Amino acid sequence: MKTEFTDIAVIGGGPAGLAAALEAKRAGVKRVVVLERDVELGGILRQCIHDGFGIHRFKKRMSGNEYAQAFIDETEKSDIKAYADTTALELTADRKIYACNSRDGMLEIRAGAVIMTTGCRERTASQALIYGERPAGALTAGAVQRYINIDGYLPGKRAVVLGSGDIGLIMARRMTLEGIEVEGVYEVMSSPGGLTRNIVQCLDDYGIPLHLSATVTKIEGRDRVRAVTVAKTDGSRRPIAGTERVVECDLLVLAVGLIPENELLIKAGAEIDPRTKGAVLNDRFETSLSGIFAAGNAAAVFDLVDYVSVSGEIAARGAVEFLRENTSDKNTENASGGADGYVPVIAGENINFVIPQRVRKGAARDLAFFMRVKTSAPRAELRCLCDGAVAEKKVCRYIAPPEMLSMTPCCAAEREIKIDAVNE
């Protein structure tokens, strides 16, 4: 087995991983390795051909590809060692990675620090509680996106979309543009999951109906999807008996949520936050395993790629700091020193979750928090309270659960940090 020694190993070559690798290089790290299981770098952005990416970072609307290419080009100009078509199989708490590919066979990578940027997965039909036969043609939105945008196949002729988050809306438009008839988008909740502008430019522009408080209850067809049964849902999202309707289609597109992919971290023993389904992170995006960091959609589903890249850079700076601590004899104040060295970050009443979940005690630091609110409001004040005192506040004109928010206070906490959004 080939063994490689590196300063920083990044698992996942998407927008978080590439941003992390490049930030590590900028900080002067000599050896940076990126492992990517797909045949080329870029992650999920390779198949996101629609525009709307990069508004924060590049101040223009780019397609997902263009955003990815900017990072890929910079990576290729650097001496970052990228292993494409290489799957990481195991991570150990002492920062060994076992991976394989068809050129090297098995690989062992021993890293000074590891950054996990493994992204997320889509929820599937059985997770959406749809039962019945399991014919071809019930696909996740991401699978359909890949078939159409990368492989050049149309996976159906008449589609039903379940889920009105931005991914479902964007795929409804994309399928329409490629000649697949979209019968409708069904949403179990009473309000759309995606942004209003996507309802306008993806559905309204093409006359695609949106059915709120409705869901798919059954898939019909043995070898191929022949139809789905849809039904209205009540306030607790349960189908209402007697409202069933059979819709003929040969494609069911499931856009029913994303789950961070953390199998390697879980097996290595990292603590997972049940709310984000990502690792519990400290302020430098380090997991409960010393020297192992996490960022991007593996840490929490972000929606906004600009934030994904920022989180990768935070983790990279953390990893660089960790490497420096480990090479100096002095016990620096940055060392985390176990659970006692942390103060908790508490999500206020209208906050669904915040990452990072804890912050190192003591000296004043520049912190970055990402959070999602529970309810929408036209105007709200975001507050970061450090040991009860306001460390930062900002007024947001529009907040809603689908949109991740961020705050960057500088504070020294001894007891706790609390983040809240107070509607005005």
**Site of interaction with another protein (CB under 8 A):** 39-40, 46, 49-51, 61-63, 65-66, 68-69, 73, 148-152, 177-178, 195-197, 199-201, 205, 397-398, 400, 403
Look-up of token digits 């069933």: 244
Task: Give the integer Cα–Cα distance in Å for 133 and 63.
Answer: 37
Task: Give the integer Cα–Cα distance in Å for 335 and 357.
Answer: 17
Cβ atoms < 10 Å from Cβ of 211? 19
| Of 130 and 208, CB closest to another protein | 208
| Of 193 and 291, CB closest to another protein | 193
Cβ atoms < 10 Å from Cβ of 266? 13
Task: Give the integer Cα–Cα distance in Å for 260 and 311.
Answer: 14
Task: Give the integer Cα–Cα distance in Å for 110 and 293.
Answer: 15
| Of 179 and 274, CB closest to another protein | 179
| Of 127 and 196, CB closest to another protein | 196
Minimum CB separation from another protein for residue 65, in Å? 4
Minimum CB separation from another protein for residue 12, in Å? 19
Helix ranges (H only) for 178-237 are: 196-198
Minimum CB separation from another protein for residue 211, in Å? 19
* The CA-based dihedral angle spanning residues 195, 19, 123, 275, taken in that order and rounded to the nearest 10 degrees: -80
| Of 71 and 293, CB closest to another protein | 71
| Of 58 and 131, CB closest to another protein | 58
Minimum CB separation from another protein for residue 200, in Å? 5
Task: Give the integer Cα–Cα distance in Å for 139 and 160.
Answer: 11
Closest C-alpha among 245, 239, 44, 249 to residue 128? 239
| Of 200 and 390, CB closest to another protein | 200
How many separate helices (H) and strands (E) can be counted in the chain? 7, 30
Minimum CB separation from another protein for residue 30, in Å? 28
Minimum CB separation from another protein for residue 167, in Å? 15
Q: In one letter, which amino acid is 12?
A: G
Look-up of token digits 């996106």: 145
DSSP labels for 234-301?
-TTSPBPTT--EEEE-SEEEE---EEE--HHHHHHT--B-TTTSSB---TT-B-SSTTEEE-GGGTS-
| Of 51 and 220, CB closest to another protein | 51
Structure tokens at 290: 């010393």
| Of 194 and 221, CB closest to another protein | 194
Minimum CB separation from another protein for residue 400, in Å? 8
C-beta contacts of 233-241 below 8 A and 24+ residues apart: 233/188, 235/190, 237/188, 237/189, 239/215
The sign of the dihedral angle between the CA atoms of 408, 413, 416, 422 is negative
Minimum CB separation from another protein for residue 251, in Å? 19
Minimum CB separation from another protein for residue 50, in Å? 5
Minimum CB separation from another protein for residue 82, in Å? 15
Task: Give the integer Cα–Cα distance in Å for 334 and 340.
Answer: 13
Chain length of the chain: 424
| Of 152 and 388, CB closest to another protein | 152
Minimum CB separation from another protein for residue 198, in Å? 8
Q: How far is CA 321 from the centre of its chain?
A: 25
End-to-end CA distance of the chain: 61
Is the bond leading into 192 cis (omega within 30 degrees of zero)?
no
| Of 42 and 278, CB closest to another protein | 42
